[in-house]
Each structure stands twice: as C-alpha cells, then as structure tokens.
Amino acid sequence: MEYSSPTSLLLCPPIDLIQNVEKDAGSDSSSFVFDSTHHRNQASIPRQFVWPASERSGASNELQAPVVDLDGFFRGDRASTELAAELVRSACTDHGFFQVVNHGVSPSLVADALATAEEFFKLPLVHKLRACRKPRSMWGYTGAHSDRFSSKLPWKETLSFANDGMASQSVIPDYLIANLGTEFHRMGKVYERYCKAMEDLSLSIMELIGISLGVDRSHFREFFSDGSSIMRCNNYPQCQEPELTLGTGPHCDPTSITILLQQGDVDGLEVFTGGGWRLVRPMSGAFVVNIGDTFMALSNGRYKSCLHRAVVNRIRERRSLAFFLCPREDRVVRPPGCLVEQGEARKYPDFTWAELFDFTQTQYRADTRTLQTFAQWLLSSNTSSSRRLCSG
C-alpha cells in the first residue's frame, strides 16, 4: 500500500465530527520547524508543545504487562501454547498490553536497528529534512508533526517506512539512498531485515491471538498475511519542561497490533488502565505488544485497544521502534461469525484499513476516541450503513 492520497468515499463527513485536525494552511505556525538541538537548549519550550493539564497528569504506578514466552508455541508444545494463549486472552480482555520474550528476533538485529536510528536522528536537521515526509505519505522524517498540527505538538521526531511485504525488493534501501545518499544503504538493509522480522513475528502473534479467541488458528494469520504495515522509529529528545508536554499524546493505535521496542533503560511508555496512567518499564529482550482499534473491531470489541502515551524527561533522550501491523488496504474489517454470538449486535461497522488510515491523516488526529468517532462518522456519512453492520 502506498499510503498516498486515497480516492475515498469519505470526503464529505458531517462537519461536527471534524474536530481535532487543526493545521490550517497559512496559519502563523505553519513555518514552525522543530530542531531539537536548538529547542532543548532554550529556557522554556515553545507554546505549541504545551499540552492541557488534564492530558498530562503523572503516572501513579507500574503496569506489569504479562510476559508471554513464545518458545513453547514456536516448538508446537501444546501445554505451553495453551498457557501463552491464556495470558494473551486475559491481557487483551483487560487492557490489551502484553510483552513477548523468546520471540526469535536476533538481539544483534535489534541492537543494529536501534544504533542506526540513533545515527540517523543525530544528523543535522538539514540533512534529516532531505527525507522529510510528503503530505499524506507514510514515508519519511517528521519533526514534532509540525507540518500537520499547530498545537499540542509531540516532543519527538519520527522516521517512518511503509511496509507492504515488499521489503525483499529493496524499497527501504532505495528510499533512503534516493533521499539521503548512498551511505544510507546499510541503514536501509538493517530496516529491511527488521521489518521482515516484525512481519514474521506479528503473524505468529496473530496465530496465537486466534487460538486465544477460539477462532481457527490460521484465520487472523491469513487475514494479515498480505498486510501493509508501518514501521516507525521514534526519537524523544531531552526536554527542559517535561511536565508541560508529551512525547506522544494519549491515543489508541488505529492499527491492528503494535510491536514496540523500548530502547535500553529509559522509561516513557504509559498505559491508562484501572483509572490511572501506569508505566510499562522497558524489559531487556522483550517487545511490548498492544491491540489497536482495527483489531478491537475485528474481535467485535472482545480485545481492548487501550489508551497509551509516551512521556519525556529532562535527562535522557529516548528511542523506540514501533511496528504497526495493518491489513491490506482494501480488506473488509469484519469479525468472524464465531465472535458475534447469535442475537448479539455488531459493535463496529465494516470498514477498510484504507478508510480508517485516511480518517487519521485527513480528518481526525488519532486520540482517545478515534475508533468511536470513525464508526459514528461512517454510519452517518454513508447511505449503506445497514450493510456495514450485517453479521454475514
């Protein structure tokens, strides 16, 4: 999937639903550019980075996200697979966050991916901007998303690649070479391998999730096998006023599942569960996995897409690598029959990933209520809304 301008049927939403995409061409902040080396040395942060107090209250305690050992599942051991599926089921019905260990991704690949991200983010801004993200594309560098938004800017830089199973065709190295120069070939190769490893791991996790839901174990693996995922490197620079801002604002991932690598020992990821924000500490050798909105819809609401955010700090910069698994753009997201009990209503209408992705890029800045607002919007803007809710 190219993640460029879609020819969507969603171009005329009811005006009251377009709430939080506030970047207006020609606004006074349209020329604002986040240069972390400059901005982090000022006395205070620019006002565009200040978030409302209600969205940045501190974390109260830790969330011990269940640790799922994948070794027995990979070996085909029945008892270990059942145990792993049970852990996944309870985590996903509760808050949607768990961690995986013995996942088969080589530690040296992980180290290489983090090291190359560090090399990239340490480049001078003018250099990074050569790979800057074009409007409505999923490829490239952004500083604080200031090209898209003018307030509540996140204190972060990102580098993203779309990953539609074409990794083996050198698209990532080719993109980096074309935009940054031939010396980025190696970085491209590292991300090509990392994306392939994430693709394989995400499909295995989908199989385990299928088992945990009592669905044919190959159902979700197949559904996502020709998916078009997104790989994103996040860099959160040190911040002189961390209590005023956020690295990534409160949101539920619109995607299906996210496999997140938290770098080293710098805290930042927080999940809202049990009435408060709770820190998920980085665990060496583990990936954090969370359910996103698209999977919540696919499971007819059984598995939760939970609110989370990333905070920043004064002392240490932080990096994370997020792999967002998405279905092929035109696949209809509809729960399998066995997840809609007889007489039970469908919780969400049918949609395609292209529609939801487009919504987050052009209509609605992903936040705490993305799926709810999107579903409402689809049903009110489309005449065939009854077709979108049938359970067949």
Catalytic site positions:
318
CB environment 298-307: b (16+ within 10 A), e (fewer): bbbbbbbbbb
Position of minimal CB gap to Fe ion: 253
Work out what residue 96 binds among ligand AKG, Fe ion, ligand LEWYHDQE, none; the CB cut-off runs from 5 to 8 Å by kind. Answer: none
Residue that has been written with the tokens 């083996």 in this structure: 168
Choices 17-25, 159-167, 249-257, 376-384; region in contact with Fe ion by CB under 5 A: 249-257
x/- binding map, residues 119-158, to ligand LEWYHDQE, per CB under 6 A?
A: --------------------------x--------x----
DSSP state of 132: B
Q: How many residues bind Fe ion (CB under 5 A)?
A: 1
Residues between 203 and 232 with contacts to ligand AKG, criterion CB under 6 A: 232
User: Shortest gap between Cβ of 43 and ligand LEWYHDQE (angstroms)?
Assistant: 25
Choices 1-9, 129-137, 253-261, 327-335; region in contact with Fe ion by CB under 5 A: 253-261
Choices 80-88, 107-115, 234-242, 251-259; region in contact with Fe ion by CB under 5 A: 251-259
Phi first, then psi, for residue 61 (nearest 5°) are: -150, -170
Q: How many residues bind ligand AKG (CB under 6 A)?
A: 12
Work out what residue 255 binds among ligand AKG, ligand LEWYHDQE, Fe ion, none; the CB cut-off runs from 5 to 8 Å by kind. Answer: ligand LEWYHDQE
User: Shortest gap between Cβ of 187 and ligand LEWYHDQE (angstroms)?
Assistant: 20
Q: Among residues 199, 253, 329, 355, which is the contact residue for Fe ion, using CB under 5 A?
A: 253
Residue that has been written with the tokens 């609110």 in this structure: 307
Residue spans of alpha helices (H) in the chain: 36-39, 71-75, 78-94, 107-121, 125-128, 171-180, 185-213, 219-224, 293-298, 353-358, 370-381, 385-388
Choices 64-72, 97-105, 118-126, 253-261; region in contact with ligand LEWYHDQE by CB under 6 A: 253-261
Q: Among residues 95, 219, 251, 304, which is the contact residue for ligand LEWYHDQE, using CB under 6 A?
A: 251
Alpha-carbon dihedral sign for residues 234, 237, 238, 243 = negative
Q: Among residues 45, 176, 366, 371, which is the contact residue for ligand LEWYHDQE, using CB under 6 A?
A: 366
Phi first, then psi, for residue 336 (nearest 5°) are: -65, 150
Cα–Cα dist 163/165, whole Å: 6
324 binds ligand LEWYHDQE, rule: CB under 6 A: yes
**Is-contact 114 319, C-beta < 8 A?**
yes
268 binds ligand AKG, rule: CB under 6 A: yes
**What is the bridge-based pairing of β-strands 229-236 and 269-273?**
unpaired
Q: Which long-range contacts (CB under 8 A, 24 or more apart) does 23-30 make?
A: 23/147, 23/148, 23/149, 23/150, 24/150, 27/150, 29/146, 29/150, 30/150
For residue 85, the number of C-alpha atoms closer than 13 Å in the C-beta half-sphere is 21
Annotate 304-316 with three-state secondary structure: CCCCEEECCCCCC
Nearer to ligand LEWYHDQE, 171 or 366 (CB): 366
Cα–Cα dist 293/368, whole Å: 11
Tokens of 324: 């967002």
Nearer to Fe ion, 255 or 362 (CB): 255
Residues between 327 and 366 with contacts to ligand AKG, criterion CB under 6 A: none
User: Shortest gap between Cβ of 324 and ligand AKG (angstroms)?
Assistant: 7
Work out what residue 268 binds among ligand LEWYHDQE, ligand AKG, Fe ion, none; the CB cut-off runs from 5 to 8 Å by kind. Answer: ligand AKG
**Residues interacting with ligand AKG, by CB under 6 A?**
232, 234, 248, 253, 260, 262, 268-269, 308, 310, 320, 322
**Residues interacting with ligand LEWYHDQE, by CB under 6 A?**
145, 154, 230, 248-249, 251, 253-255, 324, 357, 360, 365-366
